[in-house]
Copies of this chain bind each other. A is one copy, B any other.
Amino acid sequence: MAMEPTTRVVPQVQEHLEALKERLLVMGGLAEEQVRLVSAALVDRDVDLAARVQAGDEPLNILHKEIDQRCVRVLALHQPVAIDLRAVLAAVKINTDLERVGDLAVNVAEAVHRYLQHPPVDVAERIPRMADLAQRMLRDALDAYVRQAVPLAEHVLQTDDLVDALKNEVSAALVPVMEASPAVIAPALDVILIARHLERIADHATNIAEDVIFMVSARDVRHHGPTA
């Protein structure tokens, strides 16, 4: 009743790839949750919640190492080719992106923590909207990875322009406020930093979406911004 060893090779690669995807989804969920919580901390002026986000990076860091090791192992032991190889290389990159998203959520939490020491600055709903968009981009990009869904990945690329525009609006709106009232300079500066961190989170979702498009179609869409 001995099994033919060769018949097991392909299923094994697939099993490892499925496990890799599942771990990336878990990591993406944690990263998303950090972004959601830090936005809530800002809106609800909840210092404790900001502190929780600041301290909540460790599970992401642990997963980051684990996923990296899984990628090395599947490449070393199973030598995947074609789309499977591209899927593992995409996982290496997505893993890095998600770990940075975790770092950025901590940076946002630090800025929110400082910001909450001051009376509120009118941020005109833009910050929570940016956080919502960044979260949705992360979710869609990972969903696109798991389902190899290029149209969804392309949708993420488009949403990034919206986040960029919001970030620019935040700075443009706050500079005159700062000029008119020196007392708000410190908190306004933190709002500008928060907007930039959120925009970088959206950039990481964009990176993931680009990796998905490359993985599925072997077409490199990077470095082709909108023709301006």
Residues of A within 8 A of B (CB): 61, 64-65, 68, 71-72, 75-76, 79, 81-82, 85-86, 89, 92-93, 96, 171, 175, 178-180, 182-183, 185-186, 189, 192-193, 196, 220, 222-223
In the complex, A121 Cα to B224 Cα: how many Å?
36
Chain B residues with CB under 8 A of A179: 182-183, 185-186
B185 touches A222 (CB 8 A): no
Additional A-B contact list (10), CB under 8 Å, known A182-B182, A196-B196: A71-B89, A72-B86, A75-B89, A92-B92, A93-B93, A171-B189, A175-B186, A175-B189, A179-B182, A180-B182
Q: How many copies does the complex hold?
A: 2
> What's the dominant secondary structure at chain A's contact region?
helix
Sample of 13 A–B contacts (CB below 8 Å): A61-B222, A64-B223, A71-B89, A72-B85, A72-B89, A75-B85, A76-B85, A89-B92, A96-B96, A175-B189, A178-B182, A178-B185, A179-B186
Chain B residues with CB under 8 A of A171: 189
How many whole Å from A195's CB to the nearest CB in chain B?
A: 12
Closest chain B residue, CB of each to CB of A71: B89
Closest chain B residue, CB of each to CB of A81: B76
How many whole Å from A208's CB to the nearest CB in chain B?
A: 12
- The 7 tightest CB contacts between A and B, nearest first, are A61-B223, A179-B182, A79-B79, A178-B185, A179-B185, A65-B220, A76-B81
In the complex, A124 Cα to B120 Cα: how many Å?
32
In the complex, A76 Cα to B85 Cα: how many Å?
7
